[in-house]
Amino acid sequence: EKHKAQLKRLMDLRTKHLRVFDFQKKDDDAMAALHAKTIVVDERELLVSSANLSYHGMQGNLEMGIRLVSEDKAKQVENLLKEMVSMRLFVELRKD
């Protein structure tokens, strides 16, 4: 609820190439969390990072990420993300 305005702006940016998903946390595991941020671009570039897009994520914390230019690795990660969607670990947010 506290990020409603930011989520609305993100949802307004969605296209067929940009989709937004919600992590489906299991009720029986209080410690479960999604922290990795992953972007696959054009099935060829891949960014995996721990940084949030916030002041502390960009300036205050020591965060780390890696950018790879590799069709093979980008496709592997994209397939893994698709598998997690099919398992309903992630559910696409729809504009309501």
pLDDT tens per residue across span 13-45: 777 667 778 788 777 777 777 767 888 888 899
Residue 28 a catalytic site member:
no
Q: Are 23 and 91 in contact (CB under 8 A)?
A: no
12, 27, 29, 42: the active-site residue = 42
Residue 42 a catalytic site member:
yes
Residue 12 a catalytic site member:
no
35, 72, 95, 96: the active-site residue = 35
Per-residue confidence (pLDDT) for residue 96, from 0 to 100: 60
Q: How many CB atoms sit inside 10 A of residue 64's CB?
A: 9
Q: Are 11 and 52 in contact (CB under 8 A)?
A: no
Q: How confident is the model at residue 57 (pLDDT cuts 50, 70, 90)?
A: low
